[in-house]
Structure 1
Amino acid sequence: MPTLRYLSAFALVTGVIAGCTAETPKPPAAPAVVQPGAPGKPVQVLSSDAVPRADNIPITAADVLFMQGMISHHAQALRMTALVPTHSTNRDISLIAGRIAASQEDEITLMRRWLQDRGQTVPDANHDHSGTGDGELMPGMLTEEQFAELRKANGAEFDRLFVKYMIAHHMGALQMVEKLFNSDGGQETEINIYATHVGADQSIEVDRMQKLLAEMGVTSPK
């Protein structure tokens, strides 16, 4: 049965060759990564190859200035919320002040650690430093005259001023986030996550306070 043996051998060789020349299945595509944009800006969808490794992204001067400035910015917000228990009896004001105080105290701790871990100067969180270093106030910061006005007010007048000034204060923080992303900053992983959080969280709080101010019959500041 030589013919049968030759046919069997031929079939075996043909099968091996076919197996060797068959196209190797491609691995599944890596998932896309959604990168948050600055406040008001659309997100970007990046391929995994286009996403730089976290340990390869250096911090920038803009990152450091943002964190240092935001510590001082938050410190003034805490000075404002500290007045609420003795100047207001409005439950809504107390609730929103409590949320702001709790979140911003935690964020100050986070920002201090971020700066310390990178060997950068950490501002004193017990005192707000309103200036930018060139004699100008950071966006949204109250002047000492405005803060004195708030401190002297009580009841409904305090509530109106507190919400009005805190909206402006939050809007200033959003400007700082936008400036960070529009500069060469905000790319390092931790600061990107934090700045994006600040933008989202304070935008939500601004909306809440604008509704509260409208209930008081006051036009919201822009």
Structure 2
Amino acid sequence: MPRATPGTTAAAAAALALLTLAGCSGGGTDRGIAASTTTATSDTRVIAPGRPGETADVIEPGEEIEIVEGGYSEVDIRFVEQMIPHHRQALEMAELAADRAQDERVLLVADRITAAQGPEITVLENWLEQRGLPVPPADATHDHGLPGMITPLQLEQLTNASGAEFDELFLTYMSQHHAGAIEMAAAALSGTDQLALELATDVSVTQGVEIDRMREILDSL
């Protein structure tokens, strides 16, 4: 069972970094909802998982357990709101590969991105809807000032390329895009919602692996 833990200076800095990003929502009002906290006494030895990147706690019989359930913070909301358009642009870029890429490895990378980020967008949208929060519109522009997002001019350049030129541009731009997502995910780890934290951790790990693969391919072109 999760336990409340004091924030660190690094976590506070990460939260500030996320909150200062240009987002899909305006204003500085905290739209989060505090979690409910209850206290219980453990009658058995319990392993309480830590937050992503933290070690688990061991709770011995007779010790009190602070149980935190529900709740989410402005950091969680901003991460979800901003990751939706970020993922949408990645899908738009990946879809171009089908009839423009020359290297089979590029096609495989694009297919993997589509298979992973398409369902993640649905999860992110559902997260907002379940909390009565608006989902960023499908026709939202890509110029959000978010880390890693390519410009309309770069997207046009990618759209007009084909063959080896497309492969090089795709791998370069998508690596940049993924690095931005990892930056956003790192800031989100100061949030409080468990699902948002899990999504941020998954983004960081998965896209880190994909960056390494894309750089390998780019070096061999």
TM-score, normalised on structure 2?
A: 0.73
Residue 196 of structure 2 aligns with which residue?
191
Q: Which has the higher strand share?
A: 2
Pick aligned residue for 2:122 from 109, 119, 130 = 109
Compare CA radii of gyration and give the structure with the larger one.
Answer: 1
1:89 deviates by 2.7
Equivalent residue, structure 1, for 2:160: 152
Residue ranges of structure 1 left out of the alignment (5+ in a row): 1-25, 38-42, 217-222
- The one-letter amino acid paired with 2:219 is A
Deviations 1:175-202 (A, max 9, x none): 10112224xx2x2111111111111111
Q: Among residues 177, 181, 189, which one is paired with 2:185 in the alignment? A: 177
- Partner of residue 27, structure 2: none
CA distance in structure 2 between the aligned counterparts of 1:127 and 1:100, rounded to whole angstroms: 21
- Cα RMSD (Å): 1.9
> Which residue of 2 is the match for residue 21 of structure 1?
none
Instruction: Say which SS state the counterpart of residue 101 (structure 1) adopts.
Output: helix
The unaligned stretches of length 5 or more in structure 2 are 1-41
Instruction: Return the letter of the residue paired with 1:208.
Output: R
- Paired residue for 1:138, among 139, 146, 149? 146
Aligned partner of 1:213 in structure 2 is: 218
Partner of 1:65: 78
CA distance in structure 2 between the partners assigned to 1:204 and 1:86 by the alignment = 25
**Matches of 1:141 and 1:128 in 2, distance apart?**
13
State the partner residue of 1:53: 68
Higher helix share: 1
Taking every aligned residue pair, what percent have the same amino acid on both sides?
34
> How many angstroms does 1:127 deviate by?
3.6
Corresponding position of 1:44? 55
Work out whether residues 47 and 57 of structure 2, in 8 Å CA contact, stay in contact via their aligned partners in 1: no
